[in-house]
Structure 1
Amino acid sequence: MAVILGMGNPLLDISAEVTQETFDKYGLIPGNAILAEEKHQPLFKELAAKPDVLYVAGGATQNTIRVAQWMLQEPGKTAYMGCIGDDEFGKKLTDACKKDGVDCKYMIDKTTPTGACAVTIMNKERSLTTNLNAANNYKADHLKANMATLSAAKIVYSAGFFITVSPESMEIASNEMLKTGGIYCMNLSAPFIVQVPPFRAVIEKTLPLCRETRAWSSDYLFGNETEACAYAEAVGWDTQDVEFIATRLSLVPMAGNKPYRKVVITQGADPTVVAIRGEVKKYPVAALPKEKLVDTNGAGDAFVGGFLAALSKGKDMEACCKAGTYSASVVIQHSGCTYPAKPDYTI
């Protein structure tokens, strides 16, 4: 059975280089991620018509799980759940994950097309615009029907984007990890997740676990500096100090006898900030020459993938951050969340 289970929004990434004109036309921001509105719908056709368009299995959580599987190089060590359509895009996703060695347990929606993400790249920075489609229809009943996979997992991970789809599934997974002694991990994922009150409420429910209110708890909370600062602003913390924000998040009480939460905030080429029980450590990121940088799409997802792969092997925080930094550095040297056949790295 899989050691690492991901639950999220499976998407087919439609990726291409664009100009500032495209960013202006659709109100896109470099490094940002949004849900597509009606005005964004023509963007998907525009990208598909480009000669350099690239189709890659995507979705934040699915990226992370694929990278973790790649780092482990042991088939079947990871599993993934999400909802896809009964169509060609869904088949492409299934084939891609199976080829990567991931145990796909997709819920199939026969009435809704598979989700897609428009990955617009300009000057090696990307902006993500997502049509969730079938991914938006995942139901907790599917997770309940696959409880054997959940119960066997030692680590369960969801990007914050899954909050918009099935918080019930996240609660079930978190409580199951509390029961089995497993590790539950979540990612802030994007500024809009922490800025929209109903979505932020789910994040805040994951922090403490109180038996009276039946809230749930995350053992590891990931994010980047932009998301951390957006969270602080949204909740009224008068600071943009990433170390302070990580510290404060790390001090929210955990469930039962579980150890203190680990808050891991990446900062691009700057050191990764890790806060545990109010104590902060920073882990360096190896410098990558600018000429080797191809595409930042998936860098954060790849970091978490490498991190979780090392965590599944029982490695300490320093080793987990090193593995995460390595996997992210490889992915940003390729277009989309892609990588060579094998990593030049041993966990």
Structure 2
Amino acid sequence: MPDARLDVLAIGNAIVDVIASADDDFLAREGLAKGSMRLVDADEAARLYGRMAPGRETSGGSAANTVAGIAALGLRAGFIGQVATDQLGEVFAHDIRALGVEFATSPRGGDLATARCLILVTSDAQRTMNTFLGASQYLPAAALDQRQIEDAAILYLEGYLWDPEEPRAAMERAIAIARGAARQVAFTLSDSFCVDRHRDGFQALIDSGRIDILFANEAEIVSLTQAADLAGALAAVEGKLPLLVVTRSEHGALAIRGSERAEVVAEPVAKVIDTTGAGDLFAAGFLAGHARGRPLEESLRMGAIAAAEVISHYGARPEADLKALVATKLG
């Protein structure tokens, strides 16, 4: 197998996040369940944006946040995602390229608008997300660069993008290309609502051996397997995945690879400000360690360190020097 030009290439929603503070009364008036994620249409996105407090705009999207973290850790990362020919599309492309991430997907014209996520953060650091998917859900298989996929050691796929038919077909094509090139395929379940909608499809990916690394939180893996608890969920997927990584919020994280199992505690945080992107940055840290051949426990610790950094401030992208932070904490 030839050497990889990229360590990780991700496919996911290309979204611009708009993050603003809100209180419980605002959420109640808007009929929003704290900590939830819902999809909204263009009209609802415009209405809610007009009622929000002043916000901070930054490029986001789950897999895009992950590759931003991977680049911050000094690895070679790429991203495939669909934006539109509008101002937010230009913002997204500029931001992700400025981080050193390879992004070459052509913008899509027509009446489509670039996706945006309106994130309301309350004083207890809970985020309530209102996502307008816009152009991101129209990523065609034709937008894929076969050579780019073949040149990436790990292909990382975002479960959020499995819902629309067009990008799902693109991701299935990307999986076939990566496996044909003997590259690893990583998949994140993204959210329990994704699992509820696509349980059979996700199980089929696992059962057919097309996934090498699965990322999930505790609720997602329990939902996927429909087990009674985490122990039952782990038993249900035992032997079906070369590598399983499960995050458990304040209880840390675990990874299972064959007969090997590793667990770490959560990294301490002086004050949790905003949990947006915690799972995304955990995946970044873990994949950075895994791509460099580090032991399971060390890769888990890298994930925990990256997640702790991102929840200590607003926004889903790291602000501290992640590479230096990991080096200091791991010694």
Calculate the TM-score normalised by the size of structure 1. 0.85
CA distance in 2, matches of 1:337, 1:46: 22
> Once the 2 structures are TM-superposed, how far is the Cα of residue 37 of structure 1 from its aligned partner?
4.9
Of 23, 46, 52, which aligns to 1:19?
A: 23
CA distance in 2, matches of 1:297, 1:181: 33
Residues 1:99 and 1:38: Cα distance change in structure 2 (over 3 Å)? closer
Q: Say which is worse superposed, 102-111 or 83-92, in terms of deviation.
A: 102-111
SS of aligned partner of 1:158:
strand
- Correspondence for 1:61: 63
SS of aligned partner of 1:328:
helix
- Correspondence for 1:91: 90
**Is 1:263 aligned to residue 244 of structure 2?**
yes
CA distance in 1, matches of 2:68, 2:37: 20
> Once the 2 structures are TM-superposed, how far is the Cα of residue 119 of structure 1 from its aligned partner?
0.8
Q: How many residues align structurally? A: 317
- Correspondence for 2:237: 249
**Is 1:330 aligned to residue 309 of structure 2?**
yes
Q: CA contact under 8 A between 1:23 and 1:29: conserved in structure 2? A: yes
Q: CA contact under 8 A between 1:302 and 1:324: conserved in structure 2? A: yes
- Correspondence for 2:8: 4
Residues 1:225 and 1:22: Cα distance change in structure 2 (over 3 Å)? farther
CA distance in 2, matches of 1:231, 1:25: 33
What amino acid is the match of 1:228? I
Q: Say which is worse superposed, 164-173 or 9-18, in terms of deviation.
A: 164-173
What amino acid is the match of 1:32? S
- Correspondence for 1:288: 269
CA distance in 1, matches of 2:262, 2:302: 17
Q: CA contact under 8 A between 1:124 and 1:296: conserved in structure 2? A: yes
Unaligned runs of 5+ in 2: none
SS of aligned partner of 2:157:
strand
CA distance in 2, matches of 1:251, 1:27: 43
Residues 1:220 and 1:32: Cα distance change in structure 2 (over 3 Å)? farther
Unaligned runs of 5+ in 1: 210-215, 253-259
- Correspondence for 1:183: 184
What amino acid is the match of 2:269? L
- Correspondence for 1:106: 105
What amino acid is the match of 1:171? E
Q: CA contact under 8 A between 1:186 and 1:218: conserved in structure 2? A: yes
> Once the 2 structures are TM-superposed, how far is the Cα of residue 280 of structure 1 from its aligned partner?
4.7
1:1-347 equivalences in 2 (<5 Å): 1-37=5-41, 40-41=44-45, 42-47=47-52, 50-51=53-54, 53-72=55-74, 77-111=76-110, 112-122=112-122, 123-143=124-144, 146-165=145-164, 166-196=167-197, 199-209=198-208, 217-233=210-226, 237=227, 239=228, 241-252=229-240, 260-277=241-258, 280-289=261-270, 292-340=271-319, 342-343=321-322, 344-346=325-327
What amino acid is the match of 1:309? A
Calculate the TM-score normalised by the size of structure 2. 0.89
State the Cα deviation string for residues 185-222 of structure 1 (Å, max 9, x = none): 111111111112xx22321221022xxxxxx6111111
CA distance in 1, matches of 2:24, 2:222: 26
CA distance in 1, matches of 2:34, 2:291: 33
Residues 1:188 and 1:220: Cα distance change in structure 2 (over 3 Å)? same
State the Cα deviation string for residues 18-58 of structure 1 (Å, max 9, x = none): 122332344433433222257843223323xx23x111110
CA distance in 2, matches of 1:21, 1:55: 23
Residues 1:107 and 1:27: Cα distance change in structure 2 (over 3 Å)? farther
Identity %: 22
Q: CA contact under 8 A between 1:5 and 1:78: conserved in structure 2? A: yes
SS of aligned partner of 1:29:
coil
Residues 1:28 and 1:81: Cα distance change in structure 2 (over 3 Å)? same
CA distance in 2, matches of 1:294, 1:7: 28
State the Cα deviation string for residues 308-339 of structure 1 (Å, max 9, x = none): 11111111211111111111111111211132
